[in-house]
A and B are shown apart, each in its own frame.
Chain A
Amino acid sequence: GAVVSQHPSRVICKSGTSVKIECRSLDFQATTMFWYRQFPKQSLMLMATSNEGSKATYEQGVEKDKFLINHASLTLSTLTVTSAHPEDSSFYICSARPTGGRTSYEQYFGPGTRLTVT
């Protein structure tokens, strides 16, 4: 149980276009999901907290108009990278916190999406 999927796993897009990444909790509901970005040989950096039915909370330095987050249901959050540029190329990872989980600490990670902007 507690599986999180991401789609696509890899995407290549041209500079200036937009790309949407999906994060799904497959066997549980998640009121809260998190989006991270990871550059090569670096750690995960939290970009934003996605809350079902409300606006996402962005970390300092993350442009909310560039990284659009929509948490439309209890099992799906999407991250859209708008007007992508080569410097947006990165590994994007989501995690999901089960609604009413056993503890307040549970958080399950997706497999990541590799974005390459050419």
Chain B
Amino acid sequence: GESVGLHLPTLSVQEGDNSIINCAYSNSASDYFIWYKQESGKGPQFIIDIRSNMDKRQGQRVTVLLNKTVKHLSLQIAATQPGDSAVYFCADRSWGSNYKLTFGKGTLLTVNP
């Protein structure tokens, strides 16, 4: 079946730097994308979402970019902080899927002080 995948399994950055986490998806019917943050032993925490009719969406310190032409999604975190250290997952939903989400493999972000 279709799935959402990630290019990089791990990312290590210095505190204060900007982080970019990438995600490739394969389902051309995907119409909604979400980024989640998961800390060890906890459930996923919503970060930001974007619909397929948008290219960019900004939140507090985070920006999601969507390139439908190449089926690519990225999460940019500005001024990364130690508290940002976690695993980040992208997920997608396709129209008519009964709201089911397909999760990517995840990227472990480590922020060094």
Say which one of A62-70, A79-87, A103-111 lies at the interface with B: A103-111
On chain B, the residues within 8 Å of A91 by CB distance are 41
If the complex has contacts A43-B89, A43-B103, A105-B32, are A112 and B43 also in contact, measured as CB distance less than 8 A? yes
A104 CA to B55 CA, complexed, in Å: 20
On chain A, the residues within 8 Å of B49 by CB distance are 105
Number of A-B residue pairs having CB atoms within 8 Å of each other in the complex:
48
| Chain A binding surface SS class | strand
CB <8 Å contact, A109 and B43: yes
Any A CB within 8 A of the CB of B101? yes
CB <8 Å contact, A49 and B89: no
Q: Which of A34, A43, A49, A97 has the most CB of B within 10 A?
A: A43
Chain B residue at smallest Cβ distance from A105: B32
On chain B, the residues within 8 Å of A109 by CB distance are 36, 43-46
Say which one of B13-21, B58-66, B92-100 lies at the interface with A: B92-100
* Chain A interface residues toward B at CB < 8 A: 4, 6, 32, 34, 42-46, 49, 57, 91, 93, 97, 104-105, 107-112, 114
* Chain B interface residues toward A at CB < 8 A: 32, 34, 36, 41-46, 49, 89, 93, 98-106
